[in-house]
Structure 1
Amino acid sequence: MPAAGGKGLPLARRLYTSRTLGLTLGFVCVVFGMYPLNPPLWVWVWMVINAFVWPSLGYQLSLRSANALRSERRNLLFDSFCGGFWAGAMHFNPLPAVTSLSMMTMNNVAIGGLRFMLAGWVAQALGIGTALLIFAPSFIAVTTEAQLYACLPILMVYPLALGWICYRQAVTLTRQKHEFLALSRTDSLSGLLNHGAWKDHLDIEFQRCRREQQGAAIALIDIDHFKLINDTYGHVTGDIVLRQLSKVLRQSLRIPDLAGRYGGDEFCVILPGMPLNRATEVMDALRDRFNALAYAQDPTLRASLSIGLALYQPGHVDAISWLNDADLALYEAKSNGRNRVNAAQGVWLRSV
């Protein structure tokens, strides 16, 4: 069976707050609209129930519903029905009636747009029809001064409260959108950019280098014999090695540098504006730091890195050709003994 509440619980919580406030303020408006008509006792009882019992009852119904969103839509239509009922019961006293109907309509538009607004109007019409069946049809054309002042709190406070709730929801949705975007571009294991996000940045960096005639370097980094590490120490330890490399990368790079996980045990780095000799020093320091790491899972475990470097060249036709140079440099580093840094020109910059 589906969990109680299901989707729509956050909406139910927000509407509980706004409904409690709106019906409390509306109670004052309706009391002053009904008092001159000297209604029977049951009307006063229903007025109190509608204002002070119904908000909690409606919220509990949504909490216990398998679909809180659908339940809250029903609750809003009931609110509209009640708004129409009180407008008819007050004999359409202009300001109290319009205030009651417009506040309910504002709720419906905020929640469901034009279509739900129309559904709310139907519910209001049913409420008006019910009131006309119970009370003698009549029309009060004049709103007294007391009734005017009784309507001012809901006219002033409730739109501000609803606007604030909508604003907070917009802020929350914007933050969640940014978080989802970040997650979609982040590798879950390493916390670095994922393959697609890093390549997008590489394209941007390539265009910047071409446009501004400035240099940059990229590095492809491979953990030596990573399959053997997994086979010997287990995949859990292998994941720890990957996370350790991502940690060392973050500690070793500048703020503008962009590191990502290219796939498997291969990582990648963009080094904007960095000349080859400096890029070599940075990657060598990274390699030395990673080589020196000890692992509590097994003191005998040591991991090393092979790194291929490539500078941006005006002759690169696109970012892929630049990346291919780094890939060739990495292949050469691995072919010549691993645990070293190699540049795309094929000249050893440092080895051990």
Structure 2
Amino acid sequence: MHKTGKKGLSLARRLYTSRILGLALGLLVVSAALYPLDPAPWVWGFMLSNGLLWPHVSYQWARRSTVPYHAEHRNLVIDAFLGGFWVAAMQFNPLPTAVTLAMMAMNNVAIGGLRFLLVGAVAQVAGITVGIFMFPFASVPMTSPAQLYACLPLLCLYPLALGWICFRQAHTLGRQKRELLALSRTDSLTGLLNHGAWKDRLNEAFQHCRRQSPDGAGHGVIALIDIDHFKAINDTYGHGAGDVVLRQLGKLLGQNLRATDIVGRYGGDEFGVILPDLTLLSAVQAMEGLRERFTAQDYGRDPALKVSLSIGLAAFTADYADATAWLDDADQVLYEAKTSGRNRVVCQRHRPVLEASAV
């Protein structure tokens, strides 16, 4: 119900502007067509009310309704009914009639597609029926030059306004879709890629390495990073402090790596980094620098809080059948880093290890 209400209010606001313009221009068309027919004073009063007051009444009616979306659809049916009524009142003058029906059909299609076009057509037929009863049909008048010129503003300006409204709506929907896609691929706490998005980028990086380096030499490294004793941090200092630590690591990763490096929160207190076109030695140096900077971080609210990192590195080789095998290697050496004392960087396949004293 809440979503329907918001959707209805948005629809009512969009239609408020278009209804003001459309009915004002339509008033000009109907006035020019009715003037030679010398209608009764009440017809002029009703026509002015429809053209000048109805847009504001219909908007307030929809805005104050419990379900604005349904209320606005009701207003559109009333618009169609009144359009049919004025067609009969104009005695089916060819050009004003065609312009009125065409503009209303275009509006109904833009709002609700074929279904609402049919609903509007039924309402127009009902309005024409009532109009014929109140204004007995005599003969079809010829369209005069004055009536032709009265139709031109509606023919030119209303489609432009409706097209602009549709464009703005499409632009807004496109932006919202992009924002939702970004949110679906982003970790809300750190602002980094989430698990699924990072794994997608890992598969892309794996394919890139296979194309660029058939022999598997020096074209990419995976780093898996784990915050040491993170559960103890949460238990001792609270989950708020744990969140601060996670955000701080995410911030450091963004500040200290290359723009081409792909960083994501792999899960919980574990982060993943894809280092494309980098040798294992260079990756070790980069991760060691990151480890040292993170260990030196000061948490003002909790001065006793000291945090370290365990990092496992795996360089791409042509032996890997897929990205999962590459990631498994990095996960294995991260496990070695954690079981051999933590606070250190370890490479796969027992390559040289850079270590720091455990905290």
Which interval holds the TM-score relative to the shorter structure? over 0.9
Matched residue type, 1:58: S
What's the TM-score once normalised by structure 2's chain length? 0.95
> Contact 1:5/1:64 (CA < 8 Å) preserved in 2?
no
What amino acid maps onto 1:23 in structure 2?
L
Counterpart selection for 1:267 from 271, 279, 291: 271
What is the identity, as a one-letter code, of the residue corresponding to 1:17?
A: T
Matched, 1:349 2:356: no
Matches of 2:16 and 2:353 in 1, distance apart? 67
- Structure 1 range deviating more: 186-195 or 60-69: 60-69
Map 1:200-211 → 2, pairs under 5 A: 200-211=200-211
Tell me by how many angstroms 1:42 deviates.
Answer: 0.7
Counterpart amino acid of residue 236 in structure 1: G
- Give the Cα–Cα distance (whole angstroms) in 2 for the partners of residues 346 and 201 of structure 1: 27
* Aligned residue number for residue 281 of structure 2: 277
3-state DSSP of counterpart to 1:271: strand
Q: Which residue of 2 aligns with 1:186?
A: 186
Q: Aligned AA for 1:179? A: E
Name which of 238, 262, 265 aligns with 1:258. Answer: 262
Mapping of 1:227-238 within 5 angstroms?
227-238=231-242
- Looking at structure 2, the residues matched to 346 and 53 of structure 1 have their Cα atoms a distance apart, in angstroms, of 82
* Partner residue, 1:70: 70
For 1:229, the aligned partner's letter is I
In the alignment, is the contact (CA less than 8 A) between 2:309 and 2:343 conserved in 1? Answer: yes
Aligned position for 1:222:
226
For 2:19, the equivalent position in structure 1 comes to 19
Give the letter for the 2:316 counterpart. Y
Q: Partner residue of 1:93?
A: 93
Tell me which of 320, 325, 331 is aligned to 2:329: 325
| Whole-angstrom distance in 2 between the partners of 1:141 and 1:257 | 75
Equivalent residue, structure 1, for 2:106: 106
Task: Give the 3-state SS of the residue equivalent to 1:315 in structure 2.
Answer: coil
TM-score (norm 1): 0.97
Contact 1:259–1:269 (8 Å) recurs in 2? yes
Per-residue CA deviation, residues 39-68 of structure 1 (Å, 9 max, x unaligned), is 111111111111111111111111112222
Conserved? CA contact 1:218–1:326, under 8 Å: yes
Out of 310, 313, 329, the position equivalent to 1:309 is: 313
The answer (yes or no) to whether the contact 1:341–1:348 under 8 Å persists in 2 is no
Alpha-carbon distance in 2 for matches of 1:351, 1:4? 59
CA distance in 2, matches of 1:139, 1:217: 85
Q: Is the 8 A contact 2:29 2:151 kept in 1?
A: yes
Q: How big is the shift at 1:277?
A: 1.1
- Helix, strand or coil at the partner of 2:310: strand
Contact 1:86/1:128 (CA < 8 Å) preserved in 2?
Answer: yes
Change (3 A) 1:285 1:3: closer
Q: Give me the whole-angstrom Cα distance separating, in 2, the residues matched to 1:273 and 1:335.
A: 29
**For residues 49-88 of structure 1, what are the alpha-carbon distances to aligned partners after superposition, in whole Å with 9 as ceiling and x for unaligned?**
1111111111111111222211111111111111111111
Amino acid across the alignment from 1:351:
E
Letter in 2 for 1:307: I
* CA deviations over 1:13-59 (Å, ceiling 9, x no partner): 00001001100111111110111111111111111111111111111
1:284-299 alignment runs, 5 A limit: 284-299=288-303
Deviation at 1:350, TM superposition (A): 1.3
Q: Which amino acid aligns with 1:159?
A: P
Correspondence 1:243 to 2:239: no
Q: Does 1:81 align with 2:81?
A: yes
State whether residues 4 and 63 of structure 1, in contact with CA within 8 Å, keep that contact through their aligned partners in structure 2.
no
Whether 1:58 aligns to 2:58 is: yes
Alignment of 1:152 with 2:156, yes or no, is: no
Shift of 1:141: 4.1
Q: Is the 8 A contact 1:4 1:64 kept in 2?
A: no
Letter in 2 for 1:98: A
Runs of 4+ in 1 over 3 A off after TM superposition: 1-7
- Hey, what's the Cα distance between the residues in 1 that align with 2:314 and 2:109? 57
Report if the CA contact (8 A) 1:93-1:139 is conserved.
no
Shift of 1:3: 9.7
Residue ranges of structure 2 left out of the alignment (5+ in a row): none
Q: Secondary structure at the match of 1:138?
A: coil
Change (3 A) 1:205 1:300: same
- The AA in structure 1 aligned to 2:15 is L
Aligned counterparts of 1:46 and 1:160: Cα–Cα separation in 2: 28
Could you tell me how far apart the structure 2 residues matched to 1:185 and 1:297 are? Answer: 31
CA RMSD of superposed structures (Å): 1.4
Does the aligned pair in 1 maintain the 2:4–2:69 contact within 8 Å?
Answer: no
Structure 1 counterpart of 2:48? 48
Q: Which amino acid aligns with 1:169?
A: Q
* Deviation at residue 345 of structure 1 after TM alignment: 2.0
User: 1:336 maps to what in 2?
Assistant: 340
- Could you tell me how far apart the structure 1 residues matched to 2:141 and 2:206 are? 73
